[in-house]
Homo-oligomer: A and B are copies of this chain.
Amino acid sequence: MESGGNLLTELKIREFARDLGSEKPAPGGGSASALAGALASSLVKMVAHLSGEGQDEIISQSLALSDELLDLVNRDTEAFNQVMAAFRLPKGTDEEKRERRQAIQSATRIATEVPLRVVEVSLEVLKLAREMAFHGNKNALSDAGVAGLLGVAACRGASYNVLINLPGLKDEEFVSTTKKRLGVLLSEAADLEEIIGSHVRGALN
């Protein structure tokens, strides 16, 4: 795991956008999805702050979710780089080939677990966004709505990053369990998207 001065989250916004758009394959959509989730959670926190008394629980939950998603921004790119590093391992002898195969399996598994965690955490953000869309300050309704949009984009975007890595895994039970879990999470995210979106559109139009 990276630490110290070269974390993505220590880049300026403009630098992060430039790095994302560079010819290097990482950072890519996985880190961008985690960032969308973190921004969604920050918006939930702002709406909670603007919604008067009794929001302490939502404020502390949304801060924790945002912090975890910012860490996942860094971890997704690190996981991708570990997969690339494993593919570059020597494969001259049978022993090297075996070790390389194991390293690829292990790194690819982490590269699916990290975005799967982004889906899970972003789904929690969506639940808080629904709470704020229905019971938060009406002047900040558009902000709760944007939290819902970015939260569901984070869920789906991270799911793409799980799915693109699954075919590389030989553990069929893990692949099957993960696909099922993803289906459940995405279905819940789609329900929340519809609930939040129709409420916000109805109130704003």
Question: Are the C-beta atoms of B13 and A11 separated by less than 8 Å?
Answer: yes
| Contact A17:B46 (CB < 8 A) given known A153-B153, A163-B205 | no
Contacts of A136 in B (CB 8 A): none
A82 on the B face (CB < 8 A):
no
Check A66 against B17 for contact (C-beta < 8 Å).
yes
With contacts A150-B36, A157-B146 taken as known, whether A50 is within 8 angstroms of B70 at the C-beta atoms is no
Apart from A13-B73, A32-B146, A36-B36, list 4 A-B contacts with CB within 8 A. Answer: A21-B49, A30-B142, A36-B39, A163-B204
- 28 interchain pairs, CB-CB under 8 A: A9-B12, A10-B13, A13-B16, A13-B35, A13-B70, A17-B39, A17-B42, A18-B42, A21-B42, A21-B44, A21-B45, A21-B49, A21-B63, A22-B49, A24-B46, A25-B139, A25-B140, A29-B142, A29-B146, A32-B39, A32-B146, A35-B39, A36-B36, A36-B39, A146-B153, A150-B153, A156-B197, A164-B204
